[in-house]
Amino acid sequence: MSQDLFDVHDKVVIVTGGIGQLGRQFSMALADRGARVAVFDAHADKLRIAASFGEHSTSDNLLFLQVDVTHRGSIEDALNRVVAKWGAPHALINNAALDSPPNSPTEENGPFETYPEASLDKVMDVNVKGVFQCCQVVGAELARSGRGSIINVCSIYGLISPDQRIYEYRSKENASFFKPAAYSVSKSALLNLTRYLATYWASRKVRVNTVTFGGVANNQDEQFLKGYCARVPLGRMAHEDEYNGAIIFLISDASSYMTGSNLVIDGGWTAW
């Protein structure tokens, strides 16, 4: 075990949804600490990479790959490129997901009774099937190596129901918005996938854990922020870099005896 419990230097880490708000933070935090990070994203074109990562976009510790997590072949091709460049991965962060922020169109985020089947399929395809397949492909490589850490990124809405009252301000815009059940269902599914894989791969020294995060500030509507923050004991949304420590912890030796667990970081939202 490293003298620095939180050392991630030279670890090869795959981050799905790596160009999004949190994926970017995880990738840069790990790269800055000497990890070699493969950023998987369906939208990994040069313009988006530059806009998202800035000066980090040219880092030797970052490898950007366009990957569709809903297609197994795309994941396999990307993994082969990672292995060819850096060797077998040490960790996988399943962060790619479809969500419905509070300013989303109501056509796809209206009442439960009329929620479109096509929307349900899209959410489940990325949020559940995508994670499942990444675990199959990358997790198998970790198991062959006899070590590794898988982190499945969950949400408070996978533990408890959304408080639909914080979205009521949309009705003043003549919009009928509801946080969709599909997102909650998809995120809650990851909790038991984590438990299953934690026991399945325990003998191969692959640890599997879930992180459950609360909402992250991202220029949301003031009325939404007021309603959301009133529900949080700490009185605010998370800053986008406040979850990096949890990710580093779960990849490093500091969490060597932790598997099948769910680490909840939500400002106290689920403590009420």
CATH number at residue 145: 3.40.50.720
Q: Which domain holds residue 123?
A: 12-103+119-159+181-216+241-257
User: Is residue 81, in this structure, part of any structural domain at all?
Assistant: yes
Question: 268 falls in which pLDDT band (50, 70, 90)?
Answer: very high
Which pTM does this prediction carry? 0.96
Question: 105-114: which pairs have CB atoms within 8 A and are 24 or more residues apart?
Answer: 106/170, 106/175, 106/176, 106/177, 108/180, 109/177, 109/178, 109/179, 109/180, 110/176, 110/177, 110/178, 111/176, 111/178, 112/178, 112/180, 112/181
Look at the chain and report how many structural domains it folds into.
Answer: 1
User: Is residue 228, in this structure, part of any structural domain at all?
Assistant: no
At residue 192's C-alpha, the angle toward residues 35 and 237, to 5°, is 60
User: Is residue 167, in this structure, part of any structural domain at all?
Assistant: no
* Average pLDDT for 133-154: 99
Q: Mind listing the pLDDT tens digit for each residue in 195-226? A: 999 999 999 999 999 999 999 999 999 999 99
- Exposure string of 146-160, with b = 16+ CB inside 10 Å and e = fewer, is eebbbbbbbbbbbbe
User: Is residue 165, in this structure, part of any structural domain at all?
Assistant: no
- pLDDT recorded at residue 141: 98
